[in-house]
Structure 1
Amino acid sequence: MTDASVEPRWRLEWPVSSGQRVGSARLKVSPEDFRVTECLWPEVEGQAGGAEGAGEHLCVRLEKSGDNTEFVARELAQLAGCKAFEVGFCGLKDRHAVTSQWFSLYCPGREASDAELLSAIGERWRVLNWRRHARKLRRGEHQANGFELVLREVQGDRQAMEAALALLAERGAPNYFGPQRFGFQGGNLERAVNLDVTRLNRKKGGRRGGGGSGSKNVLYFSAARSWLFNEVLAARVEAGHWFEAMAGEPAVDGSPTGPLWGDGGTTASGDQEQLERAVVAGHPEFERLFLSTRMKPERRALVTRPDNLQWQWQEDDSLRLQFALPPGQYATTVLADVFELQDMSLSRDNKY
């Protein structure tokens, strides 16, 4: 709990689409209340056992709980006898959940040992499926993530919550980055402001990847870009046009987008460019930071739309929801547009 007498430097709460949330609930009371299923190869994932395939990479679909993705990837590298960077995955999945996702292990010419390796992996995690594949799995390569969530101790007017969920299914929610991206009390933002810009553009030898200060810089830069995006989106939510394209919208399937800031700022023009630059100009510490880099400006959707959103009320004032989202969009962002959420997993973080 933070000290209420200390004014935070960074805003970490942004306006919701309707002006206020209509209910409250507890999230992740147990890991089983938050289930995530990565959809990479739909034609394979519905099968039992392994699927046909060929290539240097053994891909394994695991069910895990209590372990984060990067920890599992490191452990898989040890089991497979390959290097950590030779293990691929499509996205990070919450450890305070029951999640299934694919990992690729670089095991060229070792097909005869696949069964032995899968057995060793199965002693640590449940193996749901496997196949051989020609390439390492990359971030964002999956098609979607499916969610099955249970909210506990739901409070609020049920009719108002039903109406808000129906609107959410129809229109979507503001696609904010979650506050965890910014670190405790915005610590990642503070570190971004204090980066030495003379040492940012290239690591020694021009190599990418690995750990150390280079990967930390990427984390802090990402936090700064994400926070500026949230600030622009918040301005559009307050203006009431976050779900519609503005004049000057870069061509992205006619959908409204916001800036992931870079050198040159934004690729928008006209009214949209003026709005985005005006918002970022209010944060000159970040504006200066991106002027000192070679980071290319990009765009991100302003709207996250849950696919096939369904919900059922339980007898104990709990609410079960099912929906799917594209890669890089988050279930908690969707639900937080309707409910004031108390994430019960946060009290368990100090155990890891």
Structure 2
Amino acid sequence: MSGILPEWPRSFGLPVGPARYRQHPDHFQVEEQLGFEPEGDGEHWWLFIEKANLGTLEMARRLGQLLDVELKDIGYSGLKDRMALTRQWFSIWLPGRPLPTDPATLVESAGGRLLNAGRHRRKLKRGAHRANRFYLRLEGECVMTDAFDARWEQLLDDGVPNYFGPQRFGVGGENLRRARQVMDRGWRRRDDRQGMLLSSARSFLFNEVLAERIDLGCWNQALEGDVFMLEGSHSHFASDGLDERLRQRVATLDIHPTGPLYGTGRSGTSQTAETLERDVLHRHESLAGGIERARAEAGRRALRVRVEAGRLLRDETGTWLGMTLPRGAFATAVLRELIDHPTL
């Protein structure tokens, strides 16, 4: 990890050993799972597109240029990795007119492959998808060992620290470096059109709180005053007090302690949890103050993520991992618990 970013602690100690991943786009595959289908009519064309070595924003720009549609009228649910094989939905607002060409030909001209298409009455909004399905190929001696299998099973049983992955902070942590500069002089929308710098700053503070709780051994345990998030949902609640039933729900991954997505408004925490978060944020007063002045709305994020539908398959030279993670969770956060790699 870049020197700009700290070496945040792992939950289960050192990874099993060094390994390789992202050797080829096919070795890091992401498939968006909406949880619903386009309705079949409406002014928005929804296209499910497979693409390799092509970022979400670049695909949106290409579609807009081919159709003479402004970028603001093209929707997508999440930003997917560029160095990967990805399958995700886009929407294009075409009021009162059909697509000027066959959808498959259009997508091919933009550098992708069409998997599905349909009309819908609304634009695809950010965060609309339910989950992402990952297929990851790892190579190296350690991924062929019993120790690797045991660690993988441990992650499936106990969950994984829900760190924001290194891609959130840009190559070499560049997004975070720029975020610090922008926050020091005062965040302005024109300096951060997509909001990535603001997001990097808030993600960094969340990771710092999560790291503190890992160091204290309570990232996957309930603290007095915690706010909890329901598994499989972004609904959260504050507890009036801890009892055995609440602790058991945390232990069985039914609910998860949360950390702050820092901003204006109440965090919902109290007592021990509030003190811990306040102490961490105090170490980064400049960054936190810049986020407040940008008037980002406070939110919560689960400190732990449950890995669903985990699969491990081997061939003669490597190991494939399959897993489903809720939207917003990073596969790289799972990988850094398993393997040692410079980008993790």
TM-score (norm 2): 0.85
Rounded to whole Å, the distance in 1 between the matches of 2:12 and 2:178 is 33
Matched, 1:59 2:46: yes
Aligned to 1:89: 76
Question: How many residues are matched?
Answer: 319
Shift of 1:11: 3.5
Q: What does 1:249-268 correspond to in 2, within 5 Å?
A: 249-253=226-230, 254-263=255-264, 266-268=267-269
1:213 aligns with 2:182: no
Partner of 1:116: 102
* SS of structure 1 residue aligned to 2:327: coil
Does residue 12 (structure 1) correspond to residue 6 (structure 2)? The answer is: yes
Secondary structure in 1 matching 2:323: strand
Indicate the SS of the match to 1:129: strand
| Change in CA separation of 1:234 and 1:198 when aligned onto 2, cut-off 3 Å | closer
Residue matched to 1:37: 31
What is the CA–CA distance in structure 2 between the aligned matches of 1:98 and 1:74, rounded to whole Å?
18
What is the rounded CA distance, in whole Å, between the counterparts of 1:107 and 1:182 in structure 2? 34
Q: CA deviation at 1:52?
A: 6.4
Q: How many angstroms apart in 2 are the aligned matches of 1:21 and 1:57?
A: 46
Amino acid at match of 2:305: T
- 2-structure distance, mates of 1:272, 1:41: 34
Match of 2:179 among 192, 213, 236: 192
Deviations 1:8-67 (A, max 9, x none): 4x433211111211122101111111111111156x5xxxxxx86000001111110121
Is the 1:26–1:154 contact (alpha carbons within 8 Å) kept by the matching residues of 2? no
Contact 1:79/1:121 (<8 A) preserved: no
Match of 2:134 among 117, 131, 147: 147
Deviation at 1:118, TM superposition (A): 4.0
- List gaps (5 residues or longer) in structure 2: 231-254
Deviation of 1:187 after TM superposition, in Å, equals 3.4
Conservation of the 8 A alpha-carbon contact between 1:174 and 1:304: yes
2: CA distance, partners of 1:102 / 1:172: 28
CA distance in 1, matches of 2:34, 2:279: 40
* Rounded Cα–Cα distance in structure 1 between residues aligned with 2:67 and 2:193: 25
Shift of 1:196: 5.9
Aligned residue in 1 for 2:148: 161
Q: Distance in 1 between matches of 2:308 and 2:214?
A: 21
| 3-state SS in 2 of match to 1:258 | strand
Change (3 A) 1:290 1:106: closer
Aligned with 2:121 (options 117, 134, 138): 134
1:184 shift after superposition: 4.3
Deviation of the 1:72 alpha carbon? 0.5
SS of residue in 2 equivalent to 1:285: helix
Assess, with a 3 A threshold, how the Cα gap between structure 1 residues 92 and 109 changes in structure 2: closer, same or farther: same
* TM superposition shift of 1:132: 0.3
Shift of 1:117: 4.5
Match of 2:316, SS state, is coil
Q: How big is the shift at 1:227?
A: 1.0
Q: Distance in 2 between matches of 1:294 and 1:342?
A: 35
One-letter amino acid of the counterpart of residue 224, structure 2: A
Q: Which structure 1 residue ranges, 4+ long, deviate > 4 Å from structure 2? A: 196-199
1:14 partner letter: W
Quote the Cα distance in structure 2 between the aligned partners of 1:290 and 1:265. 14
Q: Which amino acid aligns with 1:116?
A: D
Aligned runs of 1:252-331 on 2, under 5 Å? 252-253=229-230, 254-263=255-264, 266-316=267-317, 318-331=318-331
Q: 1:27 is paired with a residue of what secondary structure?
A: coil
Q: CA deviation at 1:136?
A: 0.6
How far apart, CA to CA, are the structure 1 residues paired with 2:209 and 2:21?
28
Give the one of 132, 140, 157 matched to 1:170.
Answer: 157
Q: How far apart, CA to CA, are the structure 2 residues paired with 1:239 and 1:133?
A: 48
Contact 1:88 1:105 in 2 (8 A): yes
Kept in 2: contact 1:40–1:143 (CA 8 A): yes
Contact (CA 8 Å) 2:22, 2:84: kept in 1 or not? yes
Aligned-pair CA distance for 1:190: 3.2
Query: Do the aligned residues in 1 keep the contact of 2:183 with 2:286 (CA within 8 Å)?
Result: no
Aligned-pair CA distance for 1:342: 4.9
Gaps of 5+ in 1: 3-7, 45-50, 204-211, 347-352
What secondary structure, in the 3-state scheme, does the structure 2 residue paired with 1:235 have?
A: helix
Determine helix, strand or coil for the equivalent of 1:195. Answer: helix
